[in-house]
């Protein structure tokens, strides 16, 4: 009898937690749905904000999906995938982070009943991928190009895209004011790809309308020495010298030893040090520069020396700001003051030091290369300004994307309803189970207009029925109709200038489908216990270093204590 029993094979280490099968898949879906529920209410112009405070006491108020997902300390391994897609959407297109999490959650929610009924996840994945490809093709068909327009027309079209993004943010009340500012900033940097060429400086105080755009660079007054106040604070067409060297007397860094036989020789050593710095300062003056900026310190001797010669200087300028000044003024950062030629000096129309709130700002405007811009943000509370900065980041990204991929689609849930209708129609032409799966994918897309209604306090069922009716018209005239947030009915989103770049929608649907398919393809979770060595170390630290192999650096378990 004993010989008939199969020997038990121990494969995984004792303490390993494994869960698999349908129950595990359903559990993962539930976790992802719970994450989507957290950000659900932040969608749209009437979305609510989330207040998150961490164990350090830092408080963040935001309705930006990526920011919320980043700050939530999610421990569920499957739900972390939603954090990743929010981050990828943020880095790729900048906006639509809440949309992508919501769509992924809804795709999984629609797949759940099929999984519970015993449908193989691979069938669902195949259908979802087909539906995703069809949806993207349809978006490209519906997209309207803004190419070939004049600059003024383009500006107004891009401002509409920026306003649509900002309408769902905390600064939505001033969206027109900020939208034109964002468009001017993005057009100022032109084809420059680096986003850090648009600087955002925050100054508490005043109201939002006191915010302004500098067509160049602005940064806070740096630490200054005696003599600084005697320097001129305004120049027209100055030459600008950018340095990465210290201009101050320094004590010897190395332990140098000098033996003197005669006390008078000591003076010659001191004089040599002074001559070195005077030589450097003299070369800066001879270069013809009227503004000298350095990433390293400019000491009190140099400050007074420049003040006597009507030259402005600022030391310890942040590297990011110095790089932006270099890009804007056409200057080059020097690591030596020897042989300063005209080509390495920058220039701008006006340099001035201005008071902004209780801060003083050095402002370089009218820069020749025009490859940089700075937005100075004002507002009451620090939290408010922080959120305004996040909102402007989204709007800047959107305008950049719209400039590069110059096609836009109707917002307000219009594009989602149109794709949903198209996929339902397509599903009717398919025989077999995949008809049901594509139908459920189409139904999931309706979550965007439904959530827009819920967040605004409208009757979602009523509005969705009106939208379905409008989109089903055979003439196709209902395609641009979406939710009208102001009246609680439906309206032509395109005519109302509620636009978003098509790349945002394409990326969101792609990423959400990818995440849903990834989660559906997982059927087992294995949680490894802590490795023995880690347990040994934990035990050793608990025993005050007397544990096996712990507490004594360099002594392993196999070493004898002598």
Question: How far apart are alpha carbons 314 and 309 in whole angstroms?
Answer: 15
Name residue, tokens 């020495």.
Answer: 225
Q: Are strands 212-214 and 373-379 parallel, antiparallel or unpaired?
A: antiparallel
Catalytic residue among 67, 98, 165, 347: 98
User: How far is residue 229 from each of residues 96, 282, 299, 300, 531, measured CA to CA in Å?
Assistant: 48, 21, 14, 12, 63
The first and second tokens of residue 353, run together, are: 């030091």
Q: Output b/e per residue, 403-430; b: 16+ Cβ within 10 A.
A: bebbbbbbbbbbbbbbbbbbbbebbeee
Q: Is 329 designated active site?
A: no
Question: How far apart are alpha carbons 185 and 372 in whole angstroms?
Answer: 8
Indicate the burial class of 468 (C-beta count within 10 angstroms; 0-12, 13-18, 19 or more). middle
Question: How far apart are alpha carbons 88 and 364 in whole angstroms?
Answer: 35
Q: Is 210 designated active site?
A: no
Catalytic residue among 42, 67, 97, 374: 97
Q: Are strands 198-204 and 359-365 parallel, antiparallel or unpaired?
A: unpaired
Q: How is residue 528 annotated by DSSP?
A: P
Indicate the burial class of 435 (C-beta count within 10 angstroms; 0-12, 13-18, 19 or more). middle
Q: Is 484 designated active site?
A: no
User: How far is residue 521 from each of residues 27, 129, 439, 514, 528, measured CA to CA in Å?
Assistant: 13, 13, 20, 11, 20
Catalytic residue among 321, 394, 416, 492: 394
In angstroms, the first-to-last Cα distance of the chain is: 54
Question: How far apart are alpha carbons 506 and 504 in whole angstroms?
Answer: 6
Question: How far apart are alpha carbons 540 and 307 in whole angstroms?
Answer: 64
Q: Is 97 designated active site?
A: yes
Indicate the burial class of 486 (C-beta count within 10 angstroms; 0-12, 13-18, 19 or more). exposed
Catalytic residue among 64, 95, 321, 454: 64
Long-range contacts of 252-255 (CB under 8 A, 24+ apart): none
Question: Cα 372 to the chain's mean position, in Å?
Answer: 18
Helix and strand numbers, DSSP H then E, in the chain: 17, 20
The first and second tokens of residue 426, run together, are: 């397509």
The first and second tokens of residue 277, run together, are: 């710095």
Q: Which residues are catalytic, by number?
A: 64, 97-98, 394
């Amino acid at each position: 009898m004993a010989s008939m029993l199969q020997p038990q094979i121990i494969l995984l280490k004792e303490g390993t937690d494994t869960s698999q099968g349908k129950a595990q898949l359903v559990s993962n879906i539930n976790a992802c749905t719970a994450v989507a529920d957290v950000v659900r209410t932040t969608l749209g112009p009437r979305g609510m904000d989330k207040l998150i405070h961490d164990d350090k006491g830092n408080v963040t108020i935001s309705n930006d999906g990526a920011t919320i997902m980043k700050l939530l300390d999610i421990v569920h391994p499957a739900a972390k995938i939603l954090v990743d897609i929010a981050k990828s959407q943020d880095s790729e297109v900048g906006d639509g982070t809440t949309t992508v999490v919501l769509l992924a959650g809804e795709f999984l929610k629609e797949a759940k009943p099929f999984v519970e009924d015993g449908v193989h996840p691979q069938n669902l994945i195949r259908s979802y991928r087909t539906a995703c490809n069809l949806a993207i093709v349809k978006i490209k068909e519906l997209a309207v190009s803004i190419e070939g327009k004049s600059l003024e027309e383009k500006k107004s079209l891009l401002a509409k895209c920026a306003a649509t993004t900002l309408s769902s943010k905390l600064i939505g009340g001033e969206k027109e004011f900020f939208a034109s500012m964002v468009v001017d900033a993005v057009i100022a940097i032109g084809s420059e790809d680096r986003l850090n060429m648009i600087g955002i400086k925050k100054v508490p105080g005043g109201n939002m309308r006191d915010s302004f755009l500098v067509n160049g660079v602005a940064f806070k007054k740096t630490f200054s020495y005696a003599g600084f106040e005697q320097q001129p604070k305004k120049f027209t067409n100055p030459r600008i010298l950018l340095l990465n060297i210290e201009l101050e007397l320094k004590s010897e860094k190395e332990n140098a030893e000098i033996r003197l036989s005669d006390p008078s020789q000591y003076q010659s050593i001191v004089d040599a040090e002074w001559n070195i710095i005077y030589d450097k300062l003299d070369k800066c003056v001879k270069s013809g520069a009227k503004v000298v900026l350095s990433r390293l310190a400019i000491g009190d001797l140099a400050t007074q020396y420049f003040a006597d010669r009507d030259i402005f200087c600022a030391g310890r300028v942040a590297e990011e700001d110095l790089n932006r000044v270099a890009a804007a003024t056409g200057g080059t950062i020097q690591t030596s003051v020897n042989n300063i030629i005209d080509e390495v000096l920058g220039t701008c129309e006006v340099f001035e030091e201005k008071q902004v709130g209780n801060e003083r700002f050095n402002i370089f405007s009218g820069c020749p290369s025009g490859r940089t811009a700075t937005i100075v943000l004002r507002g009451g509370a620090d939290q408010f300004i922080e959120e305004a900065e996040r909102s402007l980041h989204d709007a800047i990204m959107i305008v950049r994307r719209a400039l590069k991929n110059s096609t836009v689609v109707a917002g307000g849930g219009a594009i989602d309803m149109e794709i949903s209708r198209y996929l339902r129609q397509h599903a009717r032409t398919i025989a077999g189970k995949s008809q049901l799966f594509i139908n459920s994918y189409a139904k999931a897309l309706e979550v965007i207009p439904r959530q827009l209604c819920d967040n605004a306090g409208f009757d979602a069922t009523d509005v969705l029925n009106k939208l379905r009716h409008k989109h089903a018209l055979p003439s196709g005239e209902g395609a641009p109709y979406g939710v009208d947030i102001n009246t609680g009915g439906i309206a032509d989103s395109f005519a109302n200038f509620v636009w978003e770049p098509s790349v945002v929608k394409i990326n969101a649907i792609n990423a959400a489908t990818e995440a849903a398919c990834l989660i559906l393809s997982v059927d087992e979770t294995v949680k490894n216990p802590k490795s023995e060595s880690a347990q040994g170390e934990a035990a050793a630290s608990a025993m005050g270093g007397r544990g096996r192999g712990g507490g004594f650096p360099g002594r392993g378990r196999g070493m004898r204590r002598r």
